[in-house]
């Protein structure tokens, strides 16, 4: 497991843990972070590289992947063993941040595509209230796998997707958002953008505003 940390100039008031998409690495998420408009915040950004594993959909090619993908349908992305193995890795990083002084409600889980799926899965299986969960062009892989509503209901979500995404269908993201809402989570910020499987400037602006709103709110609550 490779973990990279970007520290703010001042003492960090929150920690965002980022998970990249299939076949990528932490530099993808670092590029997104470099474009955030959050100068009012002192954030520690933690980037995790996914383990390398064979991916069935790509002919068994070994690449960074949080879990295996067997085919193009949503049910083909339910590699429960791989998902649970990656959850252990992410939780180790979360625990290391808690040991470093962050409260659970100062920790945000964020990711794109597979990484966003892991942010949703890991977050919803967390007992404490987290600062929030950011899922970009993602889906909840455990919707049909098991009940995972341990997370405090006041935890906020930022969920976004591309209207023309051919890889993670907008329908899957919508279904995941609806499932989360149906299980009692009311703080869901949901956005759709005219793009495919990507991240756009408008999305980065919306993430920035969302982080400012929720990090500053938690900071004031802790004062």
- Residue 62's pLDDT is 97
- Residue 144's pLDDT is 45
- Residue 114's pLDDT is 95
Catalytic residue among 197, 206, 208, 209: 197
- Residue 221's pLDDT is 52
- Residue 43's pLDDT is 97
Q: How wide is the angle at C-alpha 49 spanned by C-alphas 48 and 54, nearest 5°?
A: 145
Q: What's the 3-state SS for the chain?
A: CCEEEECCCCCCCEEEEEECCCCCCHHHHHHHHHCCCCCCCCEEEEEECCCEEEEHHHCCEEEECCCCCCCCCHHHHCCHHHHHHHHHHHHHHHHHHHHCCCCHHHEEEEEECHHHHHHHHHHHCCCCCCCEEEEECCCCCCCCCCCCCCCCCCCCEEEEEECCCCCCCHHHHHHHHHHHHHCCCCCEEEEEECCCCCCCHHHHHHHHHHHHHHHHHHHHHHC
Catalytic residue among 20, 26, 68, 113: 113
Domain count, the chain: 1
Is 68 catalytic? The answer is no
Strands ordered across the beta sheet of 188-193: 3-6, 43-48, 14-19, 107-112, 132-136, 157-162, 188-193
Is 113 catalytic? The answer is yes
CATH number, domain with residue 153: 3.40.50.1820
- Residue 142's pLDDT is 65
Catalytic residue among 49, 68, 79, 165: 165
User: For the chain, what's the residue count?
Assistant: 223
Is 152 catalytic? The answer is no
Dihedral Cα 105, 136, 204, 130, nearest 10 deg: 0
The stretches in the chain having pLDDT less than 70 are 76, 142-149, 218-223
Q: Name the residue range of residue 61's domain.
A: 3-222
**pTM here?**
0.93
- Residue 80's pLDDT is 86
């Amino acid at each position: 497991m490779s973990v990279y940390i970007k520290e703010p100039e001042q003492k960090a008031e929150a920690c965002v843990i980022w998970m990249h998409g299939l076949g990528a690495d932490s530099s993808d998420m670092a590029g997104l972070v470099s474009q955030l408009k959050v100068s009012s915040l002192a954030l520690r950004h933690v980037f995790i590289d996914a383990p390398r594993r064979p991916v069935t959909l790509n002919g068994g090619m070994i690449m960074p992947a949080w879990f295996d993908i067997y085919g193009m349908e949503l049910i083909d992305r339910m590699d429960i063993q791989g998902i649970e193995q990656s959850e252990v890795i992410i939780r180790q990083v979360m625990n290391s941040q808690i040991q470093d002084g962050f409260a659970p409600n100062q920790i945000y889980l964020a990711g794109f595509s597979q990484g966003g799926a892991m942010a949703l899965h890991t977050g919803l299986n967390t007992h404490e209230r987290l600062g929030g969960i950011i899922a970009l062009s993602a889906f909840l892989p455990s919707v049909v796998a098991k009940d995972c509503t341990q997370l405090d209901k006041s935890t906020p979500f930022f969920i976004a997707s591309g209207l023309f995404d051919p890889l993670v269908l907008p329908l899957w993201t919508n279904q995941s958002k609806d499932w989360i809402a149906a299980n009692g989570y009311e703080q869901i910020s949901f956005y759709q953008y005219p793009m495919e499987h990507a991240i756009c400037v408008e999305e980065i602006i919306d993430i920035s505003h969302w982080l400012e709103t929720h990090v500053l709110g938690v900071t004031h609550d802790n004062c």
